[in-house]
Amino acid sequence: MPKPIELPPAVARRFVEDLRLFHLEPNAIKRNEIAARQLHVLQTYQPARAKRLRLNDVKEMFALM
């Protein structure tokens, strides 16, 4: 699992909202869209030397939370 990423409060709140939407969404394609949106945001705040996040990493984070 990648190292923790420091997020601004507004971005962290949006992550939690998407986490809830991900778990409520029955459609797998829409769940992938939610995870892809967060992947893009998290990559923006990821340190340059860190291992790049993948869609499966975000989906795993959502599953663990």
Cα–Cα distance between 60 and 9 in angstroms, integer? 22
User: What is the predicted pLDDT for the residue at 62?
Assistant: 93
- With vertex at residue 51, the alpha carbon angle to CA 45 and CA 53, rounded to the nearest 5 degrees, is 60
Say how far apart CA 49 and CA 29 lie, in whole Å.
31
Nearest to 19 by CA among 36, 3, 7, 35: 35
pLDDT digits (tens, 9 = 90+) for 4-32: 778 899 999 999 999 999 999 999 999 99
